[in-house]
A and B are shown apart, each in its own frame.
Chain A
Amino acid sequence: METILDYIEYLQERYVSILEYSYEHLLISFLAIMFGILLTVPAAILLTRVKNDLFNSTVFNIVNVFQTIPTIALLAIMIPFFGIGLQPAVIALFLYSLLPLLRNTYAGIKSVDPGIIESAKGMGFGQAKQLFTIEIPLALPYIMSGIKTTTVYIISWTTLAAVIGAGGLGDLILGGIGLNDKFMIFTGTFIAIILALSMDLIFGKVEKKLTR
């Protein structure tokens, strides 16, 4: 009982800065994912047009490499190139987002029934018309599900970005560890979980709407 009252008091005192941390956290995640989408969606579409399998698997292998570097190490590697702060964190998380986004978009476009593509071609659809009115809409559920999964775990990894001074909820947790403050650690963790879960929920809803 005592602890709960203390915690409420803590929240009342610190809610402005908690909101700020949350905002930073969302901003980093959002930027990383947005850049990820901007690069991967067109890239994946181009890859589906490439007939050369070797080229495609090379691209996927390169992108896969980023995935295998431990998060903390990738963040550290950023420092010599981009220093510390928000920018290197966004870049590192962006690199992480590439594989799942690329893979899902590619698979989505590839999954469109060849019979549908053939009848579109046969009826006289041009390349662009076919892409925007047939292929992308039909691949959208796949693309959205890629965005959903990626968003959820980028939000969770953004917590680590605090180690290179990017801010976000990680700051709250690291601070809590330094000051041995249970409330700070708990709040940081809890909000990160809530953010991830609500993104999962929202994107899940959107995804469902798109899959009819």
Chain B
Amino acid sequence: MIELKSVNKVYDDGFQALKNINLTFDEGKINVLIGPSGCGKTTTMKLLNRLVDHTDGTILVEGKDIQEMNPIQLRRQMGYVIQSIGLFPHMTIYDNVATVPKLLRWNKSKIDETVHRLLNLVNLEPETFKKRYPSELSGGQQQRIGVIRALAAEPDIILMDEPFSALDPISREQLQDELTHLQAEINKTIVFVTHDMDEAIKIADQIILMKDGEVVQKGSPHELLTEPKNDFVKEFIGTERLQKAETLPLVREMMNQDFVSTYVSESIDEALNKLINHNLTQLPVINNKQYAGFVTIKDLLKGSEETVSNVINTDQKTLKPSDEASQAMRLLKEQELNEVTVLTDQNEIAGVVNYKDISEALQNYYEKQQGVV
């Protein structure tokens, strides 16, 4: 995890490039910095590996103040990929990928193994490619090498400054896909600079939109799309994308917060009564404010048990408030249930969603869209 607390950057010529930046880059997430040219994206990124030193404020990496760390050691713990790729033209692909492991004095066999694994990871045949020089690779292949070179020493953090922007649209999309797949496997904390909103929406867990050295809005792609904070954000995202985003009502907007539930120590009879009175087929179970599972009418009728706790099912998949309608429908269908429970981050029940809720939300949405047109 990386934290920036009240960080300012004033360059030597007196220009204040960053003003009071407060950010958190979570572990295992892709964090995308985006904004107009000159807004301070690259500066923010370079603060992290101390290619640029901040003027005041604090930057913590895994809780440690980077100002107190040796910049060279710090950099060896972070992967770094830049737009111009910066492969070393006089070294083979093998030596390029092995750069940081060699700086860290890994032994030969470990380096060999790493280079092979990484080349395979991006679908470049090791035997063919490792002896080549960068000039003997296509632009897309070179950038793949740029990315795996940053991964070689297994850093927890990877910094990428417009890594794909010099590529043609097809290679760019391919590499974006590869990156998201790769991330599912390697689970790094990635800080990624781009000026391409589609790229940001596609790969980001968190988008940080900047302007003139300040953070204007940060949040998930969905948050930015559905709740743009001001006109600048709206303009930057663009009306077309905003309208498209409206096709995705969230579980949060459709869930039933006024739900009926039971608790572990309730008697079977009372639970059955609730089901019958409310014309339901299943109930979520609460234990000590936390979600504990659910019971169906079948479970309750079957046994001769005393309390709900004996018949709880715990294998139901649940939703988050930020999930999309499609996810809710998928779970309903998959589990052959009539409703799915929505849980908060604290594992408390936020509400329940059934087919009726979804169809109402969709109907509302389409009516609204038609009103707009």
Contacts and interface: CB of A to CB of B under 8 A. Distances in A.
Interface of A: 113, 115-116, 118-126, 129, 134, 137-138, 212
Contacts of B88: 116, 120, 134
B90 A137 contact: yes
Nearest to A137: B90
Contacts of B89: 116, 138
B85 A122 contact: no
Contacts of A113: 84, 86
Given A124-B103, A212-B90, 9 more contacts: A115-B85, A116-B88, A118-B86, A119-B85, A120-B88, A122-B49, A122-B86, A124-B75, A126-B72
Nearest to B104: A124
Interface of B: 49, 51, 72-76, 80-90, 99-100, 103, 133, 146, 149, 159
Contacts of B87: 116, 119
B51 A122 contact: yes
B76 A124 contact: yes
A40 B87 CA distance: 29
A126 to B, nearest CB: 6
Nearest to A121: B51
14 contacts: A113-B86, A115-B82, A115-B84, A115-B85, A119-B86, A122-B49, A122-B51, A123-B75, A124-B72, A124-B75, A125-B103, A126-B72, A137-B90, A138-B90
B75 A122 contact: yes
**Max chain B Cβ within 10 angstroms of own Cβ: one of A113, A119, A125, A129:** A119
A212 B103 contact: no
A119 to B, nearest CB: 3
Contact of B99 (A123, A126, A137): A123
Nearest to A117: B86
B103 A118 contact: no
B82 A123 contact: no
Contacts of B76: 123-124
Nearest to B79: A123
Given A124-B72, A124-B76, A212-B133, A119 B82 contact: yes
Given A122-B51, A124-B100, A126-B72, A115 B90 contact: no
A121 B84 contact: no
A118 B80 CA distance: 10
A129 B84 CA distance: 21
Contact of B80 (A119, A126, A134): A119
B75 A116 contact: no
Contact of A122 (B80, B90, B133): B80
A120 B96 CA distance: 10
Contacts of B100: 123-124
Given A124-B73, A124-B75, A125-B103, A118 B51 contact: yes
A5 to B, nearest CB: 55
A40 B315 CA distance: 75
B238 to A, nearest CB: 30
Contacts of B75: 121-124
Contacts of A134: 88
A122 B85 CA distance: 12
Contacts of B85: 115, 119
B92 to A, nearest CB: 11
A145 to B, nearest CB: 16
A212 B135 CA distance: 10
B134 to A, nearest CB: 10
Contacts of A119: 80-82, 85-87, 146
